[in-house]
Each structure stands twice: as C-alpha cells, then as structure tokens.
Amino acid sequence: MPSNVGTSGQAQPATSLAPPTEQRPPQRERQGSFGGSPRVKHLKPFNTANIKILLLENVNETAVKALRDQGYQVETHAKALSEDVLIEKIRDIHCIGIRSKTKLTKKILDAAEKLGVIGCFCIGTNQVDLEYASQKGIAVFNSPFSNSRSVAELVIAEIVLLSRQLGDRNIEMHQGIWSKVSANCYEIRGKTLGIVGYGHIGSQLSVLAESMGMRVRFHDVVPLMPLGTSKQVGSLHELLEISDFVSLHVPETEETKNMIGEHELNKMKQGSYLINASRGTVVQIPALAKALRSGHLGGAAVDVFPKEPAANGKFFESELIGCPNTLLTPHIGGSTEEAQSMIGIEVSQALIKFINNGTSIGAVNFPEVDLRAIRDEENSIRLCYTHANVPGVLRQITDILSEHNVDKQFSDSKGKIAYLMADISDVTPEQIQDIYHRVSNTPTNIVTRVLY
Ligand SMILES: NC(=O)C1=CN([C@@H]2O[C@H](COP(=O)(O)OP(=O)(O)OC[C@H]3O[C@@H](n4cnc5c(N)ncnc54)[C@H](O)[C@@H]3O)[C@@H](O)[C@H]2O)C=CC1
Ligand SMILES: O=C(O)C(=O)COP(=O)(O)O
C-alpha cells in the first residue's frame, strides 16, 4: 500500500506518516451537524496519486471513474493478462480489480509486493487463493448479488429455449433448412424445476420460474426458507430423480467439483434437461456429452466451462460442441449493462472504503471491522492492524497505546488472522511515527497502516 499505508513491518519515513499540513489532502467535506453533532474527519491516504490500481477484464466504467475520482492511478485492460505479464504488473500495485478469469494464485500473490486489497467485480471468488491472501493481510471484496437477477433471467430463457429445441431450429434456419417439428417440444408450465444451490441466484430463479407456472423443488446443504410454493428436498439424488429441468447454482468448492458426473446424470429423468451457469468444474463434461448424444438427456445449456478462453476471439474447444439441443454461451450469465454497472459501483466503493478508511465490511476473507467516523481534528489518526490470530496480541497493543487517548477501538478475527482498528487523538507527528514503528514491529504483525 502507499507510503502511509505501511506493509509487513517495514517502518516508513516520518514524513510519509505525518505530512506537514500544507501537504495534507485538501480540507475534506464535513458531515452535516444536526443538533451540533461533532464534525467528522474524512480519512484519506497521504497522497492518493501514489495509489496504483490495476483493473483487468473490462471492469465497468463506473468503477474506473469512481477510483480515478479519488485521485488514484488506474490502469485498465480489457482482457485477463497472461501469468508472466501479471506477475510483472502486480509487483508494484496496491489494489487489483478482476472478474472471473484472472487466477490470483499463491505464485501471483507472492509477486505482489505492495498489494493490500483485491476487488472481484463478480460474485465468484474461487479464482483467488483466499486463504493465502488473508495470510498476507490482503482483503478481498466481491459483489455478492448485483448480477444474480441477470443470471436468473438467462436461465429462464434457457428453460424455454431447451423445451422448444430453439437452439437447433435456429441453427437449421441459418443453414437454410426448414424443419417444423412439435415432437419432444413442450410448454414449461407444470414442469418441475430442480434448483441445486438455493442462494441469491437459485432463490431468484425460483420466484421467476413459479411465475411461469413451474413447480420448484430445490436442494441445498443448509435448510433454507422456500419461497412461494417451492420445497426443499432431502438430497441431490432425490432432486435429480423428480426434475424435468435441473439448474446448478452452487459455488466452486471442493464439495461441488465434479458434483454432476455419469452417476448423477443417470439419475436424471429420461429426456430431462441440465443447465449449468455456476462454475465449469461442477459438471463432468465427457459424461454430459455422453448423456446428450445417447438421448438420455433432452438437452443442456452450459454457460461455464472447466477451461475458458482468456479473451474474446480466442478459440473455444469442448466435447459439447455439436451435441443435440445444447446451448453453449461464453460465460455471459452476469453480463448485462445493469449488472456490470452496479457491480462497478459496489466493488469500487468497498475498495475505496478499505483504502481510505480501513473498513473491511463485506470482505470475504477478512474479519469485518468498522469504526464510526473519526473526529475531525488535526492530530487524530486511525490505526489499522492486521495480525496473526494468537493469544496476547491485544495486551501488546494496549501497552503501546496506553500513553495515548484511544477514542475507540474494535477488533475481530477470522481463522488465522485478526484485524484491529483504533482511533487515537492528540498525537504529534513523532508519536505517530513511534506508534507505527512499535506496532509494525510486533511479532504478530501482518500489515500495519496509519490513516489520518
Ligand atoms: N455464469 C455467470 O456469469 C455467473 C455465475 N455465478 C456462479 O453462481 C454461483 C452461485 O451464486 P449465488 O447464488 O450468488 O451464490 P450464493 O452463495 O448466494 O448461493 C450458493 C448456494 O449454494 C449452496 N451450496 C453450497 N455448496 C453446496 C453443495 N455442495 N450442494 C448444494 N448446495 C450447496 C449454498 O448453501 C448457497 O445457498 C457463484 O458462486 C458463481 O460461481 C455467479 C454469477 C454469474
Ligand atoms: O459473478 C460471477 O461469479 C461470474 O461468474 C461472472 O463472471 P464475469 O464477471 O462475467 O467474469
């Protein structure tokens, strides 16, 4: 992170922590003071132009604008970068924004010398080594539901398309073939939709499907409130056996990898349909291709693949190409103007709050910590301390801060790490330097930042 946003125990020069008044950011806006409530300080890093942000995979303009408006240096790329280029680029940056394609592995994160925060401008965070990121004190944010509606609408369309074999009819017409058939074409009214994973997308789909007259059943690993007249069933196998359509909406985890293979496909009804807009690894593609070619399944719609091309125009290969009544889409479930614009706003705001204020609310791999606004006083600071979650740390911090006026403090832990925020008033530049130096040199330090 930038000069005043220290990393891993490296003491920063005094000037970077306590700039002279004339070097401070312009006087910040002040919050309205109903009933004489105290003015609040809008924290900002010392020099926002020092903060370098790399945005990949065509992250929406709403995010680019919001981040540039903060004064950060923002570099954008329309595509994912190759591993070699990414390793080079990530070395020097403080924040990276990605979508579902960029894999932030241990190797890549190890190359990132200053990285403090990652923004996934999508729902899935499986492309990031979350545990390793937290060990390195890197917070990861995503957009948990801004594209859920777009995915649910796509699936509704696919249910109708599959049921009427529209994909195949469309291909035939473009080849000049007139083939008017009604055999094995159905209305969706009264058919059973089986949803696997009844979270944001699955439950939204449930509501839309019922409004089209479908009967909805779902399977999830946790008991959930069924919406409308839908019902949760006892097991995945039970769901597969009773459904005319099965739609997958689970995250990529160890448990969901290869969740649908030959055995599961055989459990599905003769002539039923499978839809996968979750993650490519959830379905075993050779088994699905076999079930489609044999006619056991009536069709499938697949939006996500175990291996996806890195960019538009690159070659796509799959055993599913040419299978009957099979709709293949290039991972566009969340690709609508509405979703991308909302995601851009939501994730950029989370990144700005973390960089400027230390707020980790909404982080997927970090303890969620926030403090009410800091008092607008010249000599007040906010300490943000990410540390190993072991006994005795708070005692050390209390010792260091005991000579100062701690206005408020909050800390929380998640797994192996913990995160503490403390607002301290009436500190001189020398004292700020001393606090920073002592805290960042504690044996449990992962990242220490001082904001003002
Ligand atoms: N195709 C696309 O463009 C998009 C794909 N996605 C994918 O869809 C996934 C689901 O998204 P949301 O609904 O927002 O997630 P969510 O987290 O709201 O819901 C996921 C649900 O799956 C359940 N679940 C987890 N493991 C399970 C298992 N083994 N068996 C049954 N249920 C299980 C969870 O309990 C949860 O209720 C995302 O993780 C992402 O990978 C999301 C957005 C766009
Ligand atoms: O939101 C998700 O998890 C998605 O899969 C959408 O990914 P994308 O932003 O289109 O790369």
Whether 107 is covered by a domain: the verdict is yes
Tokens of 90: 């990530």
Whether 136 is covered by a domain: the verdict is yes
Whole-angstrom Cα distance, residue 397 to residue 14?
20
Q: Are residues 188 and 297 in the same domain?
A: yes
Q: Are residues 63 and 154 in the same domain?
A: no
What is the domain-level CATH number for residue 220? 3.40.50.720
DSSP state letters, 303-333? ---SS--SSTTS----TTTT-TTEEE-SS-T
Whole-angstrom Cα distance, residue 304 to residue 115?
29
- Mean pLDDT, each 10-residue run in order, the chain (452 residues): 40 30 33 39 68 97 98 96 97 97 98 98 97 98 97 98 98 98 98 98 98 98 98 98 99 98 98 98 98 98 96 94 98 98 98 96 98 85 97 96 95 98 94 95 96 86
Are the C-beta atoms of 249 and 195 separated by less than 8 Å? Answer: yes
Ligand minimally distant from the alpha carbon of residue 143: 2
Strands laid side by side in the 417-425 sheet: 405-414, 417-425, 381-388, 445-451
**What confidence score (pLDDT) does residue 15 get?**
25
Strands laid side by side in the 215-219 sheet: 231-232, 215-219, 192-196, 245-248, 272-276, 297-302, 326-328
Q: Are residues 106 and 25 in the same domain?
A: yes
Structurally, how many domains does the chain consist of?
2
Q: Are residues 180 and 322 in the same domain?
A: yes
Tokens of 237: 């196998």
List active site positions. Answer: 279, 308, 331
Whole-angstrom Cα distance, residue 196 to residue 238?
11
Whether 5 is covered by a domain: the verdict is no
**What confidence score (pLDDT) does residue 376 get?**
76
Ligand minimally distant from the alpha carbon of residue 80: 2
Judge residue 263's burial from the number of C-beta atoms within 10 Å of its C-beta, 0-12 exposed, 13-18 middle, 19 or more buried. Answer: exposed
Which of 59, 120, 122 to probe ligand 2 with, by most ligand atoms within 8 A of CB? Answer: 122
Which of 250, 257, 283, 343 to probe ligand 1 with, by most ligand atoms within 8 A of CB? Answer: 250
Q: Are residues 284 and 358 in the same domain?
A: no
**What confidence score (pLDDT) does residue 46 get?**
53
**What confidence score (pLDDT) does residue 378 get?**
78
Ligand 1 touching residue 219 (CB < 6 A): yes
Radius of gyration of the chain (CA): 26
Phi, psi of 346 (to 5 degrees): -65, -50
> Which residue lies with its CA nearest to atom 14 of ligand 1?
200
User: Given 3-state DSSP classes, what are the helix, strand and coil percentages for the chain, each rounded to the nearest 5?
Assistant: 30, 20, 45
Q: Angle 350-351-352 (CA atoms, 0-180°, nearest 5)?
A: 95
Q: Which domain holds residue 51?
A: 15-145+338-451
Q: How many angstroms is it from 199 CA to the middle of ligand 1?
A: 6
